[in-house]
Amino acid sequence: MQTSSQLDALRARIHELKDLGGIIGLLNWDQETYLPDKAGPARAAQLSTLQGLYHQRLVAPEVGEWLELAEREAAAADDRSMLRVFRHERDRAVKVPERLVRALAEAQSDGLAGWREARAARRFAPFQPALERLLALRREQADAIGHGGERYDALLDHYEPGMTTARLLPVLERLRASLVPLVERLDGTLDGADPFAGQTFDPEVQWRFTVELLGLLGFDLQAGRQDRSIHPFTGGTHPTDVRLTTRIDAANPCPALFGTLHECGHGLYEQGFLPEHHRTPLAAAPSMGLHESQSRLWENLIGRSLPFWRFLYPRLQAAFPAALGRVPLESFHRAINRVRRSPIRVEADEVTYNLHIVLRTTLELRLLRGDLAVADLPEAWNAAMVATLGIRPRDDVEGVLQDIHWAWGELGYFPTYSLGNLYAASLLHAAERALPALWSDVERGQLGTLREWLRREVHQQGFRTSAEDRVRTITGQGLTDADFLEYLRAKYRALTGRVLTTSS
């Protein structure tokens, strides 16, 4: 066979796998949004079957042969990148037996059901057996993939290719050491009347506002949609079918506003892949950390900035005249940037947020290493919250049950949020240098300036290189906390009038 036909055969299989992945994505999205309660077990079986099929079609021996021949002959840079990414995924998959893939898929669905039941009961116990099963399977998976003695590395690599526990832990420890004193200095400094207290924000008006927000940021609603879910996320089947969800709280507009901004950041990334990369592994972020950099950038660095709200706040006031009509912009801006020790990660401010991540990463690492029993997890969580943030959750819903990740058996995902925060600050810093009009454009609601820059520099690059290499190309340096800490200090210096010079 000619090499070109090997590459063609491989490309056809790659397209097929992407299609299967899209269908799995649709079923997952549906499970989180509209699936009737009684259909849970049936959906678990459907997902397990599809994931098994995906696995078979990926690891099939002929694919290995096509891949080897294609690697020898592929000349175009994008083809070589595509083969490298595909090789990485396939090599990992080949090592994992199909039995384990199916068992994991079933355990994930059971985990989700157990987590839901536990949340309804407001205690951890109903979730414990499912999490124990997931943990056992993840250990088995990590051993099958292989690692140098740290199982967490094998799992981390799935979300953040190239990252290791040994490299990650010092980054998180430095962040913790810088942030704890900063929280100490800032906690309470922005307190004042809560502009949202005692107010009602019509859910339908909130919904319409979030849809307008999507339009303002440039999310293409002809190539995606937004729905509601308990735990907002971004999913979908293809860059032309990107599905966001948001959560609406009638007592407070922030979950919907910042949830939508966050997921929209993910959605813009997905919609921004080059059409020629569609249905290939290049139409993907090179890491979840880089994906998170896009969501956090829009949610926080832009979405909680004063210029952004100089433009948008009159519109928000017009949407909620009774609640916000007499609240000045400055009060609103302070309220959405208040630093507070709070139990819920997704509602945490930018200063305390990474402390929530350090806590989760430490706990899941201990679980995986066997240093912590699942039965002891809720108390370990509460003790860590007291030690890190000085607060104790009222119950397990406010504590260990708040995130969906462990219900899906996602171990190694959490640290990507912190990496995303660090990358976001470095990318914004580079954008400010490249785009002198950035902030004056934001203030006029012209968000396309930044979006198109991100599109060129990040989205359209897809998975051509690693996340850190892409960031290094754009910013001149790899992973660093310097830009993030400087961003926080400058922001809170302006908000509080205090000079914040904790060592970094």
Task: Tell me the closest approach of the beta carbon of residue 262 to Zn ion, in angstroms.
Answer: 6
The tokens describing 41, both together, are 């077990």
CB-nearer residue toward Zn ion: 237 or 295:
295
Only one of the segments 214-222, 273-281, 293-301, 434-442 lies at the binding site for Zn ion (rule: CB under 5 A); that segment is 293-301
Residue number, 303 or 378, with CB nearest to Zn ion: 303
How far CA 90 is from CA of 9, 157, 170, 252, in Å, comes to 16, 13, 30, 45
Q: Does 295 interact with Zn ion (rule: CB under 5 A)?
A: yes
Closest contact distance (angstroms) between CB of 360 and Zn ion is 14
Sign of the Cα torsion 212, 220, 309, 195 reads positive
Q: Which is nearer to Zn ion, 295 or 402 (CB)?
A: 295
Instruction: Report the side by side order of strands in the sheet with 224-228.
Output: 224-228, 241-246, 234-238
The span of 188-196, 205-213, 291-299, 358-366 binding Zn ion (CB under 5 A) equals 291-299
Q: How far is CA 327 from CA 200, 258, 316, 444, in A?
A: 14, 19, 11, 21
Tell the smallest beta-carbon distance from residue 293 to Zn ion (Å): 10
Contact 233, 245 (CB under 8 A): yes
- In one-letter notation, the amino acid at residue 116 is R
Give burial (CB, 10 Å; 0-12/13-18/19+) of 370: exposed
Closest contact distance (angstroms) between CB of 494 and Zn ion is 26
> At closest approach, how far in Å is the CB of 286 from Zn ion?
16
Cβ at position 305, least distance to Zn ion in Å? 19
**Sole window of 5-13, 31-39, 149-157, 292-300 interacting with Zn ion (rule: CB under 5 A):** 292-300
> Is 263 one of the catalytic residues?
yes
Contact between 355 and 176 under an 8 Å Cβ cutoff? The reply is yes
305 closest CA partner among 120, 495, 42: 495
Judged by CB under 5 A, the stretch of 69-77, 295-303, 421-429, 488-496 that binds Zn ion is 295-303
Show Cβ contacts of residue 467 under 8 Å, excluding neighbours closer than 6 positions: 160, 161, 162, 285, 286, 287, 289, 290, 419, 423
Q: Which of residues 50-79 bind Zn ion (CB under 5 A)?
A: none
Nearer to Zn ion, 84 or 225 (CB): 225
By the rule CB under 5 A, 361 interacts with Zn ion: no
Catalytic residue from among 263, 347, 350, 468: 263
Which range, of 31-39, 88-96, 139-147, 288-296, touches Zn ion by CB under 5 A?
288-296
Cβ nearer to Zn ion, comparing 6 with 421: 421
Element (H, E) at 139: helix 128-145
Q: Which two tokens stand for residue 223?
A: 């190539």
Determine the residue with CB nearest Zn ion.
Answer: 295
Q: Going along 288-432, which residue ranges are E strands? A: none
How many residues touch Zn ion under the rule CB under 5 A: the total is 1
Nearest 5°: phi and psi at 234? -115, 130
d(CA 325, CA 327): 6
Comparison of 137 and 175: residue with beta carbon closer to Zn ion: 175
* Residue 416 binds to Zn ion (criterion: CB under 5 A): no
Which residues carry out catalysis? 263
Contact residues: Zn ion, CB under 5 A: 295
